[in-house]
C-alpha cells in the first residue's frame, strides 16, 4: 500500500520511526516532511497528506503533530480527505469501518511508538463496511448550508 506520512516539528521523531517501520513491513512510504526539528506550520503538512490522497499518489495517509488535533483539522479542510484523530486501535479500525477514513492523525506528545504502530496496523487492516454507512460518508464531501 502507498502511504503518505507527514508531521510538523513536534512529531518529526515519531514520523521518522513510523516511516521506517512502514517501509520495513512492505509499504511504499511517501514522506512529505518535515525532516528537521525547526518550527513549521502543521496546516502545510496536513494539507500535503490530503493532497497526496486526492491526486492518487497515496492510498492512505498518516498525519502527525503534537496533539494530532491541528493536523487532522488541516487535512480535513480538503474535501477528498477523511482524517480521523485516533489514540487507540479500536477507533482507528472504526474510522475505516464506519467512516471510510483514508487518513489518521496521531498526537506525538500523547501516544507512544508502540501504540502508534498498533493504531496504524488496525487502520490499514480494516475495510469500509459500506451499506448503512455509505450515505453518511457521501455527505462528508458536500458543503453544508446554514
Distance CA 111, CA 120 (A): 12
Which residue, 133, 108, 106, is CA-closest to 120? 106
Residue 2: all three cell numbers together: 502507498
Side-chain-facing half-sphere of 8: CA atoms under 13 Å: 24
- Annotated catalytic residues are 65, 98
The residues near 33 (Cβ < 8 Å, ≥ 6 apart) are 6, 7, 40, 45, 48
Amino acid at each position: 500500500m502507498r502511504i503518505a506520512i507527514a508531521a510538523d516539528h513536534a512529531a518529526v521523531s515519531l514520523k521518522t520511526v513510523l516511516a521506517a517501520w512502514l517501509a520495513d513491513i512492505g509499504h511504499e512510504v511517501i514522506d512529505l516532511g518535515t525532516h528537521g526539528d525547526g518550527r513549521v506550520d502543521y496546516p502545510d503538512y496536513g494539507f500535503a497528506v490530503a493532497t497526496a490522497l486526492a491526486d492518487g499518489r497515496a492510498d492512505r495517509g498518516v498525519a502527525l503533530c503534537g496533539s494530532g488535533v491541528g493536523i487532522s483539522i488541516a487535512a480535513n479542510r480538503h474535501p477528498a480527505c477523511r482524517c480521523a484523530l485516533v489514540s487507540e486501535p479500536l477507533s482507528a479500525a472504526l474510522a475505516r469501518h464506519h467512516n471510510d477514513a483514508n487518513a489518521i492523525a496521531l498526537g506525538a506528545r500523547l501516544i507512544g511508538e508502540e501504540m502508534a504502530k498498533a493504531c496504524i496496523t488496525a487502520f490499514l487492516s480494516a475495510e469500509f463496511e459500506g451499506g448503512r454507512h455509505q450515505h453518511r460518508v457521501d455527505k462528508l464531501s458536500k458543503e453544508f448550508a446554514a
